[in-house]
Amino acid sequence: MQLFYAPEITLPCYTLTEDESKHCVRVLRLAIGDAIHLTDGRGSLHHGRIIDDHPKRCRVEIERTEENFEPLGYALTMAVAPTKNNERYEWFLEKATEVGVSRFIPLETEHSERRVFKAERSEKVIISAMKQSLKAFKPTLGPLTSFKALIATPFEGRKLIAHCDTPMTAEGKAYLASTLKKGEPTLVLIGPEGDFSKEEIQAAVEAGFEEITLGTQRLRTETAAVVAVTMVSVVNNQ
C-alpha cells in the first residue's frame, strides 16, 4: 500500500502537492489507473486511483473512505528534551511514531543541550514515519515548552517522570512497564543527557508526577524515550 499525506483533502477528487506528486510519479513510477491511498492524519484512510499522473500535480479520484482507521487505542504524550545532535532527536521522533505516540512535546529543562527547536523539519520526520508505517493518525507536535510550564499544565491521566537520581519519595521509583495500566492516558517526561536537576524532579513530584525508572541500564535521551514508548505499547497491546 502506498500512503500519501493529504491534510486538506477534498472529495471526490484531490490533487497531490508538488512534492507528493513528484514522489508518486517520478520515484514510485505510479501512473494513471494505479491505486493509491491518502490520509488526512486524523484517522481517515482514502482509497483512490490516479486520473492524472502529472509529476507536479498528480490528481487522484477517491473511490471509498475508511474512517477511524486502526486507531492507536491509547493516549501517550512524550515530553522529551531535544538532544544536542538534532539527528538523534529526529531518530526518536521517527521510531516513536512507528511504535505509537499521540503527542510529542519538546521539553526545555535546566540542563538542556539545545534551546532552539525547528518544528518544520521535525514535522516532516513525523509525517514520513507515519506514511512508512501506514498509519492514518499523525502524532501532534507541540512547541518547545519549558519544564515549569509543562508540569503546571493540567493533564488527565498518569504523569510520570523518568530520571537517574535518587528517589524523592519514600515510594521510590516504579519500573515503568510494571506500573502502567492498559488504556490509561499517560504523560512521560524524559530529560536531557545531564538528566533533570534535583529541583526539577522535586517540583514535578509536588505537581503530581510519579517517579519511574526504565531499568538498570544507563540510556541516552533518545534511547530512553524509545524504550518508554515501547513499554507503553507492549502494556497496551497485551
Give the C-alpha separation, 28 to 39, whole Å: 18
How much is the pLDDT for 220?
95
Can you list the positions of beta strands (E) in the chain? 3-5, 13-15, 35-39, 45-52, 59-66, 76-80, 103-108, 140-141, 145-146, 158-162, 174-175, 186-190, 210-213
How much is the pLDDT for 113?
86
How much is the pLDDT for 208?
96
For Cα atoms 145, 147, 149, give the angle at the middle one, nearest 5 degrees. Answer: 65
How many Cα atoms are found within 13 Å in the side-chain-facing hemisphere of 227?
19
Longest dimension (CA), the chain: 66
Domains of the chain: 3-66 (2.40.240.20), 76-236 (3.40.1280.10)
Helices 221-236 and 86-99: crossing angle in degrees, nearest 10, is 0
Q: What is the pLDDT of residues 152-208, one digit of tens each?
A: 999 999 999 999 999 999 989 999 999 999 999 999 999 999 999 999 999 999 999
In the chain, which stretches have pLDDT less than 70? none
Q: Are 147 and 108 in contact (CB under 8 A)?
A: yes
How much is the pLDDT for 114?
86
How much is the pLDDT for 115?
85
